[in-house]
Structure 1
Amino acid sequence: MTLLRQYDSLTVSKMGTNLTLVAKIFMLFGPESEASQKTEGLEPTAMVRSIKVTVFAFVSVLLMGCGGDGGNVNTREEVISRYSSGEKRVVAIYEGEGVDEQLTERVTFSKSGERVKVENKEEDETKYYDQIHSELSDGDELREFLARDVWVNTGVELDGEKISGIDMYRRDSLYKVVKMGDFARKISYKAEYEDGLEVTRKSSDGEENTSRVYILGPDKIRYSGYENTEGTYKRVEASKLESVAIRESVKELE
């Protein structure tokens, strides 16, 4: 009995001869092969069964990918902004060509190469660092993240005076240093880290204050929202603090 049929009428867009050959192989080791062996009084071998399954899976994958253009869309990525030191800062992702080209996504990176902001233009959705790294919403993970080095804020002014602030988290404590001119004030709190990126500060006189921590990147946080330009704290090593008064205050707290 002939085990191999000719599939001259089999034509699949963009697959042609290759898919015809696959169909022939499938018939050689497929259901007809097993039926032929039974008709001739033979039991199908394990090898035939194994090959049949493998070829069937292979053909299924090919068939799913051969309809039209396979759903492929031309995608292009372009670095549209860089840091002064040359690292990529913003990458734009486009789909389509010519007049049909559309901006579908814009990704902002930290200097270290981590994604800190992803803007999905099609869904009109923006994800920030702490949403991309959802594990940081766990209280223990938040504590470990904040406890590295110190956080410095130099962007606040009061009555024309520039104020520098330091937040230094050490496990279950928060030490704040506020400097205005030559004056530096040190405050100690008990810190409790809660799920949902919240920190509760408790002073020695019993006063409590809960803040939502917005993590904008591996080295930048805010307490007042993602887009608020004030209240931004940057991670700095204690030894690299510019202010002598603050540096000495941090040493005392440590």
Structure 2
Amino acid sequence: MVLVKRINSISYFMKNLSPLFTLMFLVILNSCQNTECQNEIKRLKEEIESLKGNGKENTTIDFSSKREEIIERYENGNKKLVVTYVGKGSQEQVIKKSTYYKTGKIKEEENYKQNELNGPYYEYYRNGQISVRANFVDGLRHGDYTEYYYDGTIWETGRFINGDYDAEYNTYFADGNLKSKEIYKNGDRIEAVWYNANGEVEFKN
């Protein structure tokens, strides 16, 4: 089993560990070709999970037979960051990354394919309310996009094709009334109208 080498954040996770534990982890992980060393991995994992000091946040590394996770935790024990990946060696790929607030509530969810953003993407406010709902294809925004106010009221709606705005892009006041409407085609804006809080047209082009 080989630790994922293509995840940019791997060095970030490992730097919170002491040099001794980092070296032990890499040596054991890279030499582990069968089930004989699973007990040693389990033991080392327990030591890593219990490693705290100098005000550094705790970092844990979890293993499973079909997928692996790297979990970073706050000092209070709640998850801060979870990276899930599958495969071995050169076939290792990130499939999901989730970040959390210190309270334990979800902050952001990203899905990956071939180490690029692909699929649903979500951001959340501290109160648990979703703030952004989007979709990605090959690292680019593609499909419907919605952004929300803190109370769940819609703030913006739009649509992307290969990273460019397409069709209508609308913004709304906090009371739900339309604030602006823009029409796009292939990323170019071809029409736009802005309204005041009373619904009257303020500007148009």
Structure whose CA Rg is larger: 1
**TM-score if structure 1 supplies the norm length?**
0.24
Higher strand share: 2
Higher helix share: 1
The higher-RCO structure (CA 8 Å, 6+ apart) is 1
**TM-score if structure 2 supplies the norm length?**
0.29
